[in-house]
Structure 1
Amino acid sequence: MSVVRLRQAAKESVSGLPRAFWWLWTSTLVNRLGGFVATFLAMYLTVERGYSATFAGLVGALHGLGGVVSAVVAGVLTDRLGRRPTLLVAQVSTAVTVAVLGFVRDPVAIAVMALLVGMATSASRPAVQAMMADIVAPEDRVRAFSLNYWAINLGFAFSAMAAGLIARHGYLTLFLADAGMTLLTALIVFAKLPESRPEGQSPGRGADGKAVGLGTVLRDRRFMAVVALTYLVATLFQQGYVALPVAMGADGLSSADFGLAIATNGVLIVVLQIPVTRFIEHRDPARLLVVAALLTGYGFGLTAFAGSVGMYALAVAVWTLGEIISSPTQMGLVARLSPAHGRGRYQGMYVLAWSLASLTAPLAGGAVIDRFGAATLWAASAVVGTVAAIGYGVLGRRLGADGPEVAGPDAADGNAAGVSAGKAAGVAAA
């Protein structure tokens, strides 16, 4: 491909999105550039503080439990209070709790603060995703979610490398730097992002005046099917950061070897996320999710045959392709199925699936490895991926039978509101 065509492709990938989206994108990037603590928390507890691996696992589980608790609550607040206030409270709370976690030494205090950090961190996700669905036109949402996911992984790649250097000056520096970057994110939101919640209706009510509560979400069978399938796939992705290093250690490989293998994930996402999204942007989401589930399941299944860093990296590359396809497609489908004035609740339930996976997957993965061996876990991963793919295939037929507009009782109104909010937010940010 010529340089001219590359430039044209890059321009088409980023053009046409409102200015408010780019400020939200910038806040995501800044937040992830400072995401030092989550990556090195287990190492901090075991190496720096001398706690056992069991305690580190418990702290990680409590962090996930915090996300489970806050996901739904934050979704409700996103609809009731607004996207911007919820986001600001969550980010300031994250900064404070992360900083405090760096100072506490008592194991009970560490466990409690890890729970609070998990709650504060997850509370921002429904607000971010609802705001993005508000300000971006429906036809551009997959591209917007993809760009945002690209920013997350670009920031993660930088923070993972920088954290090792910063930790040389003491782990407390990591906690304070993370807190500082989170506060900077809150300042960007406060200064540049106006409220995007659709106006003209009561919070949590659709265009027909009917309340959109948690019961509405739970009775939405199509959406809850998406949540259930998301949970299955999310449990697989979690094994890449829990079971994979354990399995590599059992094969006699070092933490540096694990770093090389898992770095394949970040590099591929940074390099391929945008071009792959251009290819899949206007294709059937259900079919894409079938392919993504199979790549994810069989990518982890391939790990059973790995014994060297190269083979482990190959397995990571396969399931990373599934992640690249799955993430923007999944988020675009969630936005499509969510009524405009209930987006916070719907996004909260979607985030809940990931939070539950982060809580249960480490426990399940560790138990399977201890009792049956790593090969059994990787074989089960292939089965789970296959089940998820079948589920997405069935869901795709249901969506097709219902026609192209399946976004709920006030979908059309919500789409129009999203476009209008995007234009208004762009002007206000300018």
Structure 2
Amino acid sequence: MSTEATDRSGVDEPRFRDTLRGLPRRVWIISLGSLILQVGSFLPVFIVLYLTQRGHSAGAAGLVLGAAGLGSVLGNVIGGYLADTIGRRPAILLSVVSTSGLTALVPFVAPLPAIVIVVGLIGVTSQIHRPAMAAVLVDAVSGTKQRLAAFGVLRFAMNIGAALGGVLGGVVASISYVGLFLGEATALLLFGLLVALLLRDTNPPKTDPEDAEKQAEVAIGYRQALADPTLVRFLLMTVFAMFVYIQTTVGLPLHVSDVGLNERHFGLLMGLNGLMVVVLELPIISVISRFRPEYVLAVGNLFTCVGLTLTGFTSGMGLLAAAVLIWTFGEIVYSSIVQAHLVSLTPPGMVGRYQGLYGAAYTVGTGAGPVIGGAVYAFAPWTLWTMTGVLGLLSALLCLRLRAPAVPAADAAKSDPPMAKQQETTSE
């Protein structure tokens, strides 16, 4: 029995590595671009420090962050529409070029209303490229395992870039905030140049004439998308899951302070989280690809929920670290599959819109979490941890109803391209 299990795992692991090696060139281009963007993504992290150093109040900084958050929700929706209409490559270029110009303006804008407008517009334009980038990955790969591998590589690049960007941003900010924002503008233009030179547009493959009527039906747009009950459940699950997860930046640091620990301890806990994500995400993807995605999502949400809820009942670094291990495992499992599974729920011609709505729901959850979570914690900490547990369980239950529709045999045969076509796609 044990020998058979060992042999099986030994066969599966090389297969997943082969899947990674066989990913199309477009996946690596987008992932490299994401790494560049994350390394240079300074404004979301340092905008509060920048504003307070310029003499603005904490309330003013909150107003600017609120404008950026609302802009991000709108930007995802606009980006999903543009990805499905004007194309993936033009949407990405429009996003990065406009965001670069606006970001370069920030250090030269003085009045608070002007800063709110500029940063709010950055919130819009900076998110337009995200649904388009996800759609590029979807267009480039075929099959569940390739989708999981492609989104896994993208997340791996983003995590590495975020880690490097935090360190680099701190160094640059200590020298010059003007240099910080101009550096981000340069990183955006560098990504735009990468896309312009190396990425061919990747609109969805054309369907057979008999599918024209289906394509016309889905062309209605977001009204058609929001009429899909499975998508609505997916979006609600995303809002709940992100509200729970974002308490790692709100409830967790507040609790760490309340139990007598300091910033260094919180930094160590978050460092443990980052190390686990970088080291374990790709190996975990190779395992979870064998199971039903809706069950995997439910398990991920449950671990995140349990780990964060336990935080409210722990006090020492050892127990807090154990809680971090639990919710980080849930984070990895959930994040590794969520966008890839959304693809299996998406009708033809709607990839950009579905990914855009996912991005909007993600932003709503991560935006509402700090505001509501902070207020609830101030009222009574146990209330926040109870809310975290309830919403986490609800998100897990919603996952169980996110099953992809059955595909008729004739349609399944059409969706599988000939081997020669697959090899051609992979070589691009």
TM-score range, shorter chain: 0.7 to 0.9
- Between the aligned partners of 2:422 and 2:132, the Cα distance in structure 1 is 15
Query: Paired residue for 2:383, among 376, 387, 406?
Result: 376
Query: Paired residue for 1:152, among 155, 158, 165?
Result: 158
Contact 1:79 1:345 in 2 (8 A): yes
CA deviation string 1:208-245 (max 9, x = no partner) = 54343112211111122111111110111222223433
Q: Does 1:88 align with 2:93?
A: yes
Question: What TM-score do the two structures reach when normalised by structure 2?
Answer: 0.88
Identity over aligned pairs, percent: 32
- Between the aligned partners of 1:129 and 1:142, the Cα distance in structure 2 is 12
Task: Please report how far the alpha carbon of residue 108 of structure 1 lies from its aligned counterpart in structure 2 after TM superposition.
Answer: 1.9
- Between the aligned partners of 2:38 and 2:423, the Cα distance in structure 1 is 24
- Between the aligned partners of 1:370 and 1:263, the Cα distance in structure 2 is 26
Alignment of 1:115-264 (within 5 A): 115-139=120-144, 140-200=146-206, 208-212=215-219, 213-264=221-272
CA deviation string 1:181-231 (max 9, x = no partner) = 1111111111111111125469x9775543431122111111221111111
Question: What TM-score do the two structures reach when normalised by structure 1?
Answer: 0.87
Matched residue of 1:341: which SS? coil
Matched residue of 1:210: which SS? helix
Alignment of 1:53-68 (within 5 A): 53-68=58-73
The structure having more radius of gyration, on CA atoms, is 2
Matched residue of 2:189: which SS? helix
The change in CA–CA distance for 1:174 and 1:189 in structure 2 (over 3 A counts) is same
Task: Please report how far the alpha carbon of residue 247 of structure 1 lies from its aligned counterpart in structure 2 after TM superposition.
Answer: 3.5
Structure 1 alignment gaps of length 5 or more: none
Task: Please report how far the alpha carbon of residue 141 of structure 1 lies from its aligned counterpart in structure 2 after TM superposition.
Answer: 0.2
- Between the aligned partners of 1:412 and 1:55, the Cα distance in structure 2 is 57
CA deviation string 1:146-168 (max 9, x = no partner) = 11111111111111122222222
Q: Does 1:114 align with 2:119?
A: yes
The change in CA–CA distance for 1:81 and 1:5 in structure 2 (over 3 A counts) is same
Structure 2 alignment gaps of length 5 or more: 1-5
Q: Does 1:104 align with 2:109?
A: yes
- Between the aligned partners of 2:378 and 2:383, the Cα distance in structure 1 is 10
Deviates more, 1:172-181 or 1:300-309: 300-309
CA deviation string 1:73-118 (max 9, x = no partner) = 2111111100110011111122122222233232222222221121
Amino acid at match of 1:84: R
Matched residue of 1:327: which SS? helix
- Between the aligned partners of 1:410 and 1:74, the Cα distance in structure 2 is 29
Give the RMSD, CA atoms, in angstroms: 3.0
Q: Does 1:304 align with 2:316?
A: no
Alignment of 1:281-320 (within 5 A): 281-320=289-328
- Between the aligned partners of 2:26 and 2:268, the Cα distance in structure 1 is 36
Structure 2 match to 1:367: 375
The change in CA–CA distance for 1:208 and 1:110 in structure 2 (over 3 A counts) is closer
